Amino acid sequence: MRKGFLLLLTGTLLIQGCKKQETVEVQKGRVEEITINVDPTLAIVTPKALVYLPPNYDENKSYPVIYMLHGFGGDYRTYVYFNGVHEILDYLISTGQIDPAIVVMPDGRNLVGGSFYTNSYLYDPSSNSYGAITVFGKYETYIVDSLMAQVERTYPIDTTHRAIMGLSMGSYGSSKLWLKYPGRFKAVALHSGPLAFDSLIDVDIIDSMLSDFEDRKLPLWIKDYLGRERIWATLGNGLSAAFSPRIVLYQDPSDWRVIENCFYSPNGLDSINGEVLLDTVSLGSSKLCVGVRFPFTYDTVGKPLASCIDPALPDNFTKRSLTETYCLWKAYHDPQTLIDTAIARDNAGFLDTKVYIDVGKKDELTLLYHNRGFKQALIDRGFPASNLVYVEFDGAIGYPAEYFPGLHSTWLYIRLKKSFKFIDRVFKGEDIKAGEYDQSGGNDYE
């Protein structure tokens, strides 16, 4: 009897194994590279973009558009050549999970590795304000004026169905452009972005950054400390180049001593207040010291808290060392603060946007706290919970978190599929499944 049962089971398995497997024919879209016509005064390093055109693209039809911003250290080719985003889109469109859309991937890389999609204006420490001189590029103006205008003239785009999304620096840029231009985007998808600057204080981020330097001291000359092996220093330098770049005149171009000319000359860089040198640049008969100012000082003895710091925040090195430069960062560049800007400029457009946010529970850049803070700030300022999807992930269904942790960039394939489907639902006016999801607890968006 047992032998007969095993023969029957084996035969059944063989029959099932011989059944024709159902296959999906994935139709392929195409990706083309374009060059953006841009005013040279914007100082854009690479004014290029990749444009994904869906399968069976028809220039006589109208398509929704998604602007997809890359992260720090990447460029306009990253999503296609490293993340295969065109294949994700091909599959989702071919299987009917989303409608065809045009996806635009611009370049946000500047001379220091990443622009944070920001207009980098010369910082004046004497007034804690900005001058009119462009330093590391006007990337906000480039994206919203030059790039979007050219793309939407060139391709058959329905501008009433426009979305923006990104990872890390791209998430930051997407949130910033949404909040500074509310009403322009129907949907926003934010993956692991630095979205609430005061969350830096909670985790004592400056102390973490200083661990990348010898003797835990900010060096006068920083370019030798930049790279993947020193991620904190590199990101801190990138943020400072975007938010508080510095240029001072080289005192004596005939003198080769860089430190003496850039720091100890009249009105030179101020190392006590976190100014570092990136490089020297010749400009005609003059020579310039090009650097950045970090938003902190070592001299904390007897120093009052910066005017924008809540005294109730944790009392740590970061809180005590932050300067008024940080307050300028917060006022002009902090997405959580820019919520109020959006409300003032176009409250109806702000409230009408649908937003998807996800972040890993073990994000190594401590951005879990940023995303929690930003999400809560949205709700506190009246953003409808029905327009918001918030996901924290760690592992996945069937995959233990200890082997597949929720880090900064992990599970990107799955995350992008979810955000593309979210954006598609917004464009169609369908239920976005609003709510808060803890994937590690089995509560998942899909």
Q: For the chain, give the mean pLDDT.
A: 92
pTM of the model: 0.93
Return d(Cα 146, Cα 137) in angstroms, integer: 13
Answer with the one of 329, 347, 364 that is the final residue of a domain: 329
**CATH at 437:** 3.40.50.1820
> Residue 21 CA to chain centroid, in angstroms?
41
Q: Could you tell me which residue, 235 or 214, shows the higher pLDDT?
A: 235
As for how many domains the chain has, the answer is: 2
Spell out the alpha helix ranges (H) of 155-298: 169-180, 199-202, 205-210, 231-243, 258-263
6 within domain boundaries: no
Q: Domain boundary residue among 307, 329, 351?
A: 329
Same domain, 258 and 186: no
Helices (H), 49-101: 78-81, 85-94
1 is a domain residue: no
**Residue among 394, 446, 423, 441 at smallest CA distance from 185:** 423
Segment 342-358 shows an average pLDDT of 98
pLDDT at residue 161 above 60?
yes
Q: Does 186 lie in the same domain as 49?
A: yes
Q: Nearest 5°: phi and psi at 314?
A: -55, 135
Angle between helical axes of 324-333 and 231-243 (0-180°, round to 10): 80
Domain check: are 147 and 225 in the same one? no
User: Do the beta carbons of residue 175 and residue 140 sit within 8 Å?
Assistant: no
**Pair (93, 191) in one structural domain:** yes
pLDDT score at 208? 84
Asked whether residue 161 is domain-assigned, the answer is yes
Q: Is residue 39 over pLDDT 70? A: yes
17: pLDDT confidence band, cut at 50, 70 and 90?
very low
Report the percentage of the chain scoring pLDDT > 90: 79
CB 72 within 8 A of CB 169: yes
Confidence grade of residue 12 (pLDDT, cut at 50, 70, 90): very low
User: Which of 48, 100, 103, 43 shows the shortest CA–CA distance to 77?
Assistant: 48
Instruction: Tell whether 187 and 268 lie within a shared domain.
Output: no
Encode 14-27: b = buried (16+ Cβ within 10 Å), e = exposed: eeeeeeeeeeeeee
Mean pLDDT of 343-372: 96
pLDDT score recorded for residue 400 = 75
pLDDT in tens, 162-195: 999 999 999 999 999 999 999 999 999 999 999 9
Burial 389-420, CB ≥16 within 10 A → b, else e: bbbbbbbbeeeebeeebbbbbbbbebbbbbbb
pLDDT reading at 7 higher than 70: no
In this structure, the answer to whether residues 106 and 222 fall within a common structural domain is: no
Residue 191 vs residue 216, higher pLDDT: 191
Instruction: Report H helices in 225-360.
Output: 231-243, 258-263, 317-321, 324-333, 335-352
| Residue 291, helix vs strand vs coil | strand
One domain, residues 308 and 164:
no
Contact 115, 80 (CB under 8 A): no
pLDDT at residue 14, as a whole number: 38
376 Cβ contact partners less than 8 Å away, ≥ 6 residues apart: none
Tokens of 108: 């946000």
Closest Cα partner for 143 from 173, 163, 167, 188?
Answer: 173
**pLDDT value at residue 258:** 95
d(CA 316, CA 324): 17
Give CA–CA dist 263/268, Å, rounded.
Answer: 5
Quick check: is 63 in a domain?
yes
**Residue 160 burial by Cβ neighbours in a 10 Å radius (0-12, 13-18, 19+):** exposed
Are 214 and 173 in a shared domain? Answer: no
Q: Is residue 446 part of a domain?
A: no
Residue 125 inside a domain? The answer is no
Answer whether 47's CB lies under 8 Å from 77's CB: no
For the cut 70, the answer to whether the pLDDT of residue 334 exceeds it is: yes
Tell me the pLDDT tens digit for each residue of 379-389.
Answer: 999 999 999 99
Place of tokens 């979305």: 163
Residue 294's domain spans which residues? Answer: 204-329
Indicate the range of 1-15, 43-57, 154-168, 248-262 predicted with least confidence: 1-15
245 vs 300, more confident: 245
**Residue 343, in any domain of the structure:** yes
What band does 106 get if pLDDT is binned at 50, 70 and 90? very high
Q: Are 62 and 157 in contact (CB under 8 A)?
A: yes
Q: Are residues 240 and 156 in the same domain?
A: no
pLDDT of residue 223: 87
- Among residues 226, 202, 198, 206, the alpha carbon closest in space to that of 331 is found at 198
What is the mean pLDDT of the segment spanning 331-349? 98
Residues 87 and 184 in one domain: yes
Looking at the fold, whether 166 and 76 belong to one and the same domain comes out as yes
Domain stop point among 276, 294, 329: 329
In a domain, 127, yes or no: no
Angstrom distance (rounded) from CA 358 to CA 428: 22
Residue 268 and residue 166 share a domain = no
pLDDT, residue 265, reads 87
Indicate if the pLDDT at residue 273 is higher than 80.
Answer: yes
Q: How far apart are CA 371 and CA 368, in angstroms?
A: 5
275-283/129-138 β-pairing: unpaired
pLDDT at 398 over 90: no
Can you state the percent helix, strand and coil of the chain, rounding each to 5? 40, 20, 40
Q: Is the pLDDT of residue 126 over 50?
A: yes
Under a CB-based contact definition with an 8 Å cutoff, are residues 379 and 427 in contact? no
Answer for the pair 74, 167: CB distance below 8 angstroms, yes or no. no
pLDDT number for residue 64: 98
Task: Give the list of residues 6+ apart from residue 243 with CB closer than 8 angstroms, or none.
Answer: 116, 118, 120, 123, 295, 328, 329, 332, 333
The mean pLDDT of 386-405, rounded to a whole number, is 85
- To the nearest whole percent, how much of the chain has pLDDT over 70? 94
Task: Return the pLDDT at 22.
Answer: 59
